[in-house]
Amino acid sequence: MIKNITRTITVVLLTSAALLLFTVTASSDSAPACYFAGTIKLDGINVADGTIITATIEGVEYTTTTPTGYGTSTYAIAIQPEADTYYADGTAVYFKINAYAADQTGIWQAGQNIRLDLTASTTPSQASSPASSTNIWLIVGLIVACVVEISVLGAVAYIVVRRWNR
């Protein structure tokens, strides 16, 4: 009789523990979303309804469009991690307005509503000019290196052919 009671209590405790474990596991699979919202300006001007807003965090893109009826040039986006995906608080969130990088970067905070007004420019910034100049000099250097290499290979080939024909 005591064996049956002990066995029943053991089964009940193991079943309860298993149910508790699976309930906790299922609820922890999905992290809370982080919400960003604010106004949008492209080249200092309000954007049209339907403008695409993209938020990128750790290489994963989330998109939305500017709505109609909630005010001119506004956006709201929820970044909800997929099951088994976790973003640490403080992870950077990069935004684009259409294809143009926003000047602002968001900071992921699970379960928070964050106001972030976005601005972007359709013209390249001055910071990209030196990079373009550097790229031109890199290309020129590669061309010069190729010409020198071809000249050296040509000279070596000439010497080899000349000795071969002796």
User: Is CATH 2.60.40.1120 correct for 34-120?
Assistant: yes
Q: Output the pLDDT for position 148.
A: 72
Return the closest-CA partner of residue 80 out of 119, 48, 37, 36: 36
- Which 3 state secondary structure label does DSSP give 91? coil
Return the closest-CA partner of residue 46 out of 118, 125, 95, 123: 118
Cα 75 → chain centroid: 19
The model scores a pTM over 0.85: no
Taking only the tens place, the pLDDT of each residue in 22-37 is 433 444 456 899 999 9
Q: Output the pLDDT for position 64.
A: 95
Instruction: From first to last of the 166 residues of the chain, give the pLDDT tens digit.
Output: 555 444 444 433 334 444 333 433 444 456 899 999 999 999 999 999 999 999 999 999 999 999 877 678 999 999 999 888 899 999 999 999 999 999 999 999 999 999 999 999 998 764 444 455 566 666 766 687 757 778 777 777 778 778 878 7
Q: Output the pLDDT for position 123.
A: 87
Where do the domains of the chain lie? 34-120, 126-166
